[in-house]
Chain A
Amino acid sequence: MSEAPAANSARATETKTTTCYMCACRCGIRVHLRGGEVRYIEGNPEHPINKGVICAKGASGIMKQYSPARLTRPLKRKVGAERGTAQFEPISWEEAYTLIVERLAKIRSTDPKKFAFFTGRDQMQALTGMFARQFGTPNYAAHGGFCSVNMAAGMIYTIGGSFWEFGGPDLDRAKLFVMIGTAEDHHSNPLKIAISKFKRQGGRFISINPVRTGYSAIADEWVPIRPGTDGALLLALTHEIVNTGLYDRPFLARYTNAGYLIDADPASDTHGMPLRTGEDFGQGSPHFSHDELWWDRIADKPVINHAPGADPYLAGEFRMPDGKPVKPAFQLLMDRVQQYTPEWASEITGIPAGTIRRLAHEMGVTARDQKIELPIPWTDSWGVEHETVTGNPVAFHAMRGLAAHSNGFQTIRALAILMSLLGTIDRPGGFRHKAPFPRAIPPVAKPPKSPDAIKPNTPLGGLALGWPAGPDDLFLDENGGAVRIDKAFSWEYPLAVHGMMHNVITNAWRGDPYRIDTLMIFMSNMAWNSTMNTLEVRTMLNDRDESGEHRIPFIIVCDAFQSEMTAFADLVLPDTTYLERHDVMSMLDRPISEFEGPCDSVRIPVVPPKGECKPFQDVLIELGTRLKLPAFVNADGSRKYRDYPDFIVNFETEPGSGIGFLAGWRGKGGEKTMRGEPNPRQWEMYAQNNCVFQYKLPRSYQYMRNWNRGYHEWASRTRLRRNFDPLIIQIYSEVLQKFRLAAQGKGTSKRRPPPELAKRIERYFDPLPFYYAPLEMEASDTTHYPLAAITQRPMAMYHSWDSQNAWLRQIHAHNYLFVNPRLARGLGIADGDWIWVESMHGKVRCMCRYSEAVEPGTVWTWNAIGKSRSAWHLAPDANESREGFLLNHLISDELPPAHATGGRRMSNSDPITGQAGWYDVRVRIYKAAATEPEESWPQFQPVPAAPGTNPVRRLWQAFVAGTGEWK
């Protein structure tokens, strides 16, 4: 044996808890160390998120920790070297700080918006956002715009909460679970735990997806659907449920705006807006007056909504005393969905009409006949006491399959409305919120309204990202143009609530709306898979203007690994791994809350940083201090926080607010929760408690939280919300109608879209959900490009920021394009053949793999397996680069020029939210010629290993922790 047992046990072993970061799931882990090296990482059984389980990535953390691709020193691009060639020289941190601070201080004192700061899926948006705001730039966002902002926006603008961090399916109590447009991933371990329990309890699981893998594999029924057509299916389901009366009328009447009377006079300036009394029933909220009207069917007259004893008509057409025609919102919805018959949807989705009807009946009958009644008394926002909480046990889950289409917002609105029709919002067995959600619809946070918010040496006057409630909340200059570099919150993408990271490089390169000076990227691979138009972006990143200057003058990249993106940096900052850093999963950001109450967690280093690596948070605090950003310095300009852990403990949103990043163990001695003075021993207390804080709400506050007075009072006391008015589900979206009215030259807002965008706003800002083909599909010649092409991350690599992991890459070393054999054989393509995939934007050569588990009009592949040659410190002929490929080369970040709106280049994104339309691309496939090389195309020049990275063990390695060296 290579190692005697005695030798092993003699070495000191210890166990520490922290939080995983191999993906965004944030499971609790226990890290066993032997002789200071990571011996074993296991799930922490005491942790509420994963309850002891761990996934393939989590269990491969060792190989991330000891990866040879790790950057260990700050690097500066060599003088004269081109960007992209990765020619670096190491510099000291002091030099790096000086370089950055000099540059940023100059920008800040002249025009702060010339600094753009965009981050990947980093889980520290509260801090990064705060840094950007303190700096004074509006040009900040994380990756949400190209991930799933449609999911967040579509649901939050409808029900005040969303899937994943902010809410999810209550599979403990559901009887029917419908998963639509969810890949192998989102909400990894908790969802796996829940689905398994659900199935073992005898629940019925239906998966609607073009591809049957992962979760769909264990569904009781797989319903294959054509990509981008989910909206048609959801509307047809709604059609059937409405027409058969399978909706939960009492729920709709009381908890949604279904009964609100809507102005039905097309000539009216307030057409399509709810009628209001003009009195303030806002229950203290300055944002919502709650004075909409019902038509009471008992008194048969208009009354204020929720008037005691009243019950609104949901259908019909009425005339107000002044003669104005009005209709309840639900009637408008019914009118809308009449056209969406199952037969109509069948043509679009490829799902037989009979199946659509059956699905609708299964949902409706299960919701109606298998009601759950829990003996939990609660009081609603209007003071009515209820003895029980009821639930309709139909749960849904959806994610990027719905979101990443340019019709995704309206599709997700349709889903949220369907869930509401079935009466499943924040009720047992349905969808349930997670703190700090539900929020107001829309949430109160708003972006700045004008460029006045940007002033030299001054923090930004407003939040860089927020939730517009109407045209007045758009972030526009005097001419109605965009203020942000990504054009979020402009008339082009008014509800781009997560920003539009995918447009930043193109816009900055083009100087539209303006040129920037410095682009700082954290943990995002913009030169590879985190960009829609990889080839162009790689060119733009290195492009120079007429004067020979780079169009993007300075690029700072912070990453832990030598990625494709670091090659393009002028300055590379080596980040730590998750095992070497402090982190917080904060209530100010995206916490790990459970249905039962708020929950946050931390990471605490288990091993020291490698080389000169520094946690990015420490770097930000250092930069903030050196730049003298107000939040990071005392009044006299001196350093306020020693480092990130010190900052986390002592920072309060306002002096004395008692609100900080962490909700647990606050107060001087750790005796308070949610709110309280800073506790100097807070980290220690998290460490003693598995790095997690969980607060369980009283049972009566755990449900119906949109309208639960007790919960609202609790949330107000803990300052999760300022107000405690009810959060009425927006079956009919007043916000969208405000935009539409503006486009029609009506409404209360003075702001009007530019004429060339008015039609677009009017069409897509429909207050009721509707189906339209994704924009790129409309712009494509679908006879020439008949196929949809989509991607998903495999479970073993989902959301992990690398795939150079020595163990995981043995599972997925390269990728194939999965093609239905019927389709492939018709094109003369055999299993394993080299083929070309071509869209109107580009083409790639790859290998075909037959699969009966994909809808014949769709081809798909595992995303981001393909790597650029020798990136991630892989050999230049590694499978990832020679056989692997990236589908991104087929996708464009902008719609074809021919489809420009009024001469504007439009992003290939949802016209409402700016969500990147990744999944809209249309392709054709054909066999590669026999004479062509058997390797994927395009190929890229290899780059040298960065200084400071470890040499790769070329032939073999065998890891034994605690030996002090590797065999």
Chain B
Amino acid sequence: MTQLALVIDLNVCVGCHACVTSCKEWNTSGLAGSLVDERPYDRDPTGTFFNRVQTFEVGEFPNTQTVHFPKSCLHCEDPPCVPVCPTGASFKRPEDGLVLVDYDKCIGCKYCAWACPYGVRELDEDRKVMGKCTLCVDRIDNEALPEAERKPACVLACPTNARLFGDIHDTESVVSRAIRENGGYQLMPEWGTQPANHYLPRRKTELRIHRDELDRADNPLKIDGLLPKPPVKDPSLDDVTSW
């Protein structure tokens, strides 16, 4: 069985928000209809977005890490938002594991959002139905697009390729390998929701220089006479002992 998912590499995410606006851009004119912007040029502009990039600071100066953290629907394998939906508008698509909302069935009761611990569903205040990341189902299903472009808009947009896309049930997929080899993890594992999306942690490359590496026979200072050998005539052990 297929489970499509994103694997988000925090080791390379620079927090540029490309995934945020490319998502908005694709989806607002997409098959599912518009994503509202309220008060777009006024005080406190707000709107529907399926994907957000957040920033966290970890640790204290000077040992601070700044973590940019993109978050969209995690397409849980056991999605708590689906069984609570009274109309069946929220569903998990059997063939690829996408958690989707049928906007024609949704009554906008918000119960699914309450039942999601991750805060990734947003009610569109214009259309009054629940919106969420579809992994761009209208791209990945669209056979009119070239194969390489049948991916979520955010994945194609991401300048650092921090968003990998694939089937986490296929052990040889890019995403499965990334999870396996780079310590991929899930958010809030305590709830057993088994999010399909995984995150790859920060990894640190270090360089250790041994003292010996600074002491080399081919030191260029010697060529210019700046590490001179002591004159032959200077005192040495040869002068004082015969063993």
By a beta-carbon cutoff of 8 Å, the part of chain A in contact with chain B is 1-3, 5, 8, 34, 39-43, 45, 50, 52-60, 62, 68, 176, 184, 188-189, 192-193, 195-197, 199-200, 202-205, 212-218, 220, 222, 224, 244-249, 297, 313-316, 358, 361-362, 365-366, 369, 795-796, 804, 806-811, 813, 820, 822, 851-856, 873-875, 877-879, 882, 952-962, 967
Contact = CB atoms under 8 A, between A and B. Distances in A.
Interface centre among B26, B28, B126, B157 (most CB of A within 10 A): B157
Contacts of A873: 41
A315 B162 contact: no
B45 A952 contact: no
Interface stretch (B30-38, B80-88, B165-173, B190-198): B30-38
A43 B156 contact: yes
A315 B209 CA distance: 27
B21 A297 contact: no
A820 B61 contact: yes
A633 B41 CA distance: 45
Given A810-B47, A954-B42, A2 B18 contact: no
A46 to B, nearest CB: 11
Contact of B57 (A216, A851, A955, A957): A851
Contacts, number: 261
Contacts of B95: none
A51 to B, nearest CB: 9
Interface string B197-209: 0000010111101
Interface centre among A3, A196, A879, A955 (most CB of B within 10 A): A196
Given A213-B66, A314-B224, A956-B126, A810 B45 contact: yes
Interface stretch (B8-16, B110-118, B229-237): B8-16
Given A3-B31, A245-B216, A795-B15, 15 more contacts: A42-B153, A53-B158, A176-B207, A217-B15, A316-B224, A316-B225, A806-B47, A807-B25, A852-B60, A852-B61, A874-B42, A955-B38, A956-B40, A957-B36, A967-B34
A59 B66 contact: no
Nearest to B31: A5
Given A1-B33, A2-B33, A879 B44 contact: yes
Interface centre among A245, A316, A365, A811 (most CB of B within 10 A): A245
B104 A53 contact: no
Contacts of A315: 221, 224-226
A203 B11 CA distance: 12
Nearest to A854: B61
A184 B66 CA distance: 13
Nearest to A190: B159
A199 B41 contact: no
A811 B17 contact: yes
B68 interface: yes
Interface in B83-111: 103-104
B2 interface: no
B17 A796 contact: yes
B18 A220 contact: no
Interface in B37-66: 37-47, 49, 55, 57, 59-62, 64-66
Contact of A878 (B35, B41, B204): B41
B192 to A, nearest CB: 31
B41 A40 contact: no
A852 B209 contact: no
B148 interface: yes
Rank and list the top 3 A-B pairs by shortest CB-CB distance, nearest first.
A249-B220, A958-B34, A196-B160
A2 B127 contact: yes
Interface string B176-199: 000000000000000000000000
A43 B225 CA distance: 56
Given A42-B153, A956-B40, A795 B17 contact: yes
B213 interface: yes
Nearest to A54: B157
Interface in B114-137: 125-127
A853 B66 contact: yes
Contacts of A39: 29
A58 to B, nearest CB: 8
Contact of B13 (A2, A218, A220, A807): A218
Interface centre among B37, B65, B104, B158 (most CB of A within 10 A): B37
B1 interface: no
Contact of B12 (A62, A195, A245, A959): A195
A1 B102 CA distance: 9
A450 to B, nearest CB: 46
Nearest to A39: B29
Contacts of A362: 207, 209
Contacts of B37: 806-807, 810, 956-959
B24 A807 contact: yes
Given A45-B148, A199-B205, A956 B125 contact: yes
A174 to B, nearest CB: 12
Nearest to A34: B29
A359 to B, nearest CB: 10
B227 interface: yes
B160 A193 contact: yes
Given A55-B159, A807-B24, A956-B39, A215 B14 contact: yes
A195 B34 contact: no
B36 to A, nearest CB: 4
Contacts of B158: 53
Contacts of B61: 224, 820, 822, 852-856
A199 B12 contact: yes
Contacts of B60: 852
Nearest to B138: A5
Interface centre among A52, A55, A62 (most CB of B within 10 A): A55
Nearest to B44: A879
B30 to A, nearest CB: 9
B223 interface: yes
Contact of A879 (B15, B43, B62): B43
Given A43-B157, A192-B159, A222-B64, A795 B205 contact: no
B174 interface: no
A807 B24 CA distance: 8
A874 B12 contact: no
Given A810-B47, A856-B61, A218 B209 contact: no
A193 B159 contact: yes
Contact of B11 (A45, A213, A218): A218
Contacts of A42: 22, 153, 156-157
A60 B34 contact: no
Contact of B207 (A54, A189, A204, A224): A204
A807 B21 contact: yes
Nearest to B16: A795
B14 A358 contact: no
Nearest to A58: B18
Given A34-B29, A960-B28, A874 B17 contact: no
Nearest to B202: A218
B225 A954 contact: no
A361 B156 CA distance: 39
Given A199-B205, A245-B220, A807-B37, A40 B29 contact: yes
B32 A1 contact: yes
A187 B233 CA distance: 60
Interface centre among B18, B34, B216 (most CB of A within 10 A): B18
A55 B24 contact: no
B36 A956 contact: yes
Contact of A875 (B13, B32, B42): B42
Nearest to A806: B40
Interface centre among A39, A217, A813, A952 (most CB of B within 10 A): A217
25 contacts: A40-B25, A45-B148, A53-B161, A55-B157, A59-B24, A60-B21, A189-B159, A196-B12, A204-B205, A214-B16, A217-B14, A220-B204, A222-B62, A245-B222, A297-B223, A369-B213, A796-B17, A796-B21, A806-B41, A851-B57, A855-B61, A952-B42, A957-B36, A960-B29, A960-B33
Given A59-B18, A217-B14, A245-B227, A365 B209 contact: yes
B29 A224 contact: no
